[in-house]
Amino acid sequence: MKFRIAILALLVFSITSCLKTKTEGVLVLNPENFEHKMKSSDFQLVDVRTPEEFSEGHIPNAINININGSDFVSETSKLDKDKPVMVYCKMGGRSAKAASILKEQGFKDISDLDGGITSWREAGKIIEN
């Protein structure tokens, strides 16, 4: 019985540890809805991956502000807080962190690409180098 409880606890922990933390007030959008929002609004698109990852391919018109860079907060503070900001990373973890920081900075309209550029690629969406 104890073994079953331990296995169940391990399974629950494994599943929840892989989930992306959601920030209140941040829209987490699948690739189709993310693309739709890009077509329907004036927005700022931010790729929060490293410059090396960005150079391997990114969503068109994205700017690169590395979430792990020491200048992330100062660079994002230059963005227009009155315009929607859309963020993504490789799989969604770093962009969730970035969305949280943007929320703390006072951005109101924040969207995060669920599954990051990986899900974007899998959906057959356009990538540029």
Is 128 within the bounds of a domain? no
Nearest to 54 by CA among 44, 45, 64, 46: 64
Is 12 within the bounds of a domain? no
The pLDDT assigned to 18 comes to: 37
Catalytic residue among 38, 85, 89, 117: 89
Look up 18 and say whether it is catalytic.
no
Q: Rounded to whole angstroms, how far apart are CA atoms 31 and 11?
A: 28
Is 16 within the bounds of a domain? no
Is 6 within the bounds of a domain? no
Please say whether the beta carbons of 77 and 95 come within 8 A: no
Q: Note the residue count of the chain.
A: 129
Is 11 within the bounds of a domain? no
The domain that holds 88 is classified in CATH as 3.40.250.10
Q: Rounded to whole angstroms, how far apart are CA atoms 80 and 91?
A: 25
The pLDDT assigned to 3 comes to: 54
For 86-99, the pLDDT digits (tens) are 999 999 999 999 99
The pLDDT assigned to 41 comes to: 81
Mean pLDDT per 10-residue segment, the chain (129 residues):
50 38 81 96 96 98 98 97 97 97 97 98 96
Structural domain tally of the chain?
Answer: 1
Can you give the pTM of this predicted structure? 0.82
Q: Rounded to whole angstroms, how far apart are CA atoms 98 and 109?
A: 13
The pLDDT assigned to 12 comes to: 40
Is 56 within the bounds of a domain? yes
The pLDDT assigned to 25 comes to: 83
Is 86 within the bounds of a domain? yes
Is 57 within the bounds of a domain? yes
Side chain identity, residue 107: F
Give the range of the structural domain holding residue 117, as residue numbers without chain letter.
22-122
CA quadruple 115, 120, 121, 127: dihedral sign: negative
